[in-house]
Amino acid sequence: MSDAFTLDSLLTSSPIFYNEAFKQNQGVGMVSQRTRNRLVKELIDLGVSDYAVLNVIKTTPRHLFLDEAMASRSYENTALPIGFAQTISHPWAVAKMSAWLFQNGPLCKVLEIGTGSGYQTAILAQLSKHVYSVERIEPLLTKAVSVLTKLQFNNIKLTLSDGHWGWPAYAKYDGIISAASPEKLPEELIEQLAVGGRLVMPLGGSDKQLLYGFVKTETAYTEECLGEVLFVPMKTGLVKAEKV
């Protein structure tokens, strides 16, 4: 079967939902399955060809991870604001990074740096046995927990923490992904990878960022530049919720 035929069938076949909660939260109108299919078609046209990743994007209700005022734009191929100077990642970036991370198939343990809205977390959780996600902004983490609970995931652990340090308690990881860009590679993340593990993240400042893929070896790591990107900077410290 050719890749083109497989991807064409993805656009025309009935969706297979991760669980009943996904099925019950698919939306109508501007947040319907039809709009998700259009997004998948756009990603395919942009060169994304990983069937498993595209299939997950096809059925994941991105609108749940945004404020109601932004819902009508949920399936545009663009980053959108979620508050605290953060964004829900560009779907193309989510697809590209996920496709590289899962290039060799599903993974057992994946660490996500920056839970944010929880959308990327939901994508990862459908392609991994266990997902560990850290977020430094408490109000964002609280909202993400609410949505991920609504979608009835049972393979995600989340914590309030500075992403530079990863989550050493659950290391070693088969994959690590970050949608925030530090100036240089945090060595702590490489240390928390298993040998053969894969890390995908942007590096650079506000003037220029490049997306890199790293694979840990017995003695060091290899790196591959995946192109120019634009993500929010990786910051240090915690932002706690205001007490009422």
The whole-angstrom separation of Cα 109 and Cα 132 is 8
- Nearest in space to 146 (alpha carbons), one of 66, 55, 36: 66
The whole-angstrom separation of Cα 50 and Cα 227 is 18
Residue of 89, 117, 178, 181 marked catalytic: 89
Q: Which residues pair with 225 in a beta bridge?
A: 212
Assess whether 89 carries a catalytic annotation: yes
Q: Which two tokens stand for residue 79?
A: 């980053």
> Which region, left, alpha or beta, applies to residue 224 given φ > 0 means left and ψ of -120 to 50 means alpha?
beta
- Nearest in space to 63 (alpha carbons), one of 86, 35, 85, 83: 35
- Nearest in space to 222 (alpha carbons), one of 199, 203, 239: 199
The whole-angstrom separation of Cα 175 and Cα 132 is 10
| Residues known to be catalytic | 89
